[in-house]
Structure 1
């Protein structure tokens, strides 16, 4: 039996995935998250009125409405109204300064320390991998939580 067959065989605990299948599933999950997060605020241009509808007007209330004050808007109002998404800010910065350092051209040298892996359940440093999906976890309790709720073996 070759190592490829051992990686892709089924076991009693569930289906074991090879590295390529794990990568495809991880990429699919990241694309779903990106699609879910990337959109303009649907209610950004919605203007709410603070005045409640008046159902009963009397002659006394109509007499006092002759003068209207102009409402002053502070800087927060304009910051929220004309807010720009990150992709638009990055494009503007790149067009304004194409040669110099900008968001898309910045880079850091690789670390001189080995990379660390963190638990997908609690965030502490992880020592173990899930056999089915390759996710990292740090303890038996986190392993059980991962198997019950987060394991990719349940997704198609």
Structure 2
């Protein structure tokens, strides 16, 4: 009986050692692997760092909030294109150049992330999502 208990203890100890060694081996493989690419095909930047993007001559600034929200105040030069409408019809009529830089924002950053995903799936290549949305913006807004 003692030998059986001793054998069981040795087997348990061996299994623990193998499990520990395996997890350390997998961790070492992850450290040695190339860094993972950003899974999102667009970039997200804090809205406080957006000034150069917004000032770019060929950038298209998309406010993906509702028309009512847009009318209450938006970034200068922005075009209202609610996220709910991005899959309605042919977007290339409004945004023909799929290589042009697109800067998207909303109120807090949730809808703009959704919009960036949709735009990416539609083939647009240069998309920047402004994190934090217009609520994080400390600059001027317009109501034109």
Q: TM-score, normalised by structure 1?
A: 0.21
Q: Which one has a bigger Cα radius of gyration? A: 1
- Taking CA–CA contacts closer than 8 Å with sequence separation of 6 or more, which of the two structures ends up with the larger relative contact order? 2
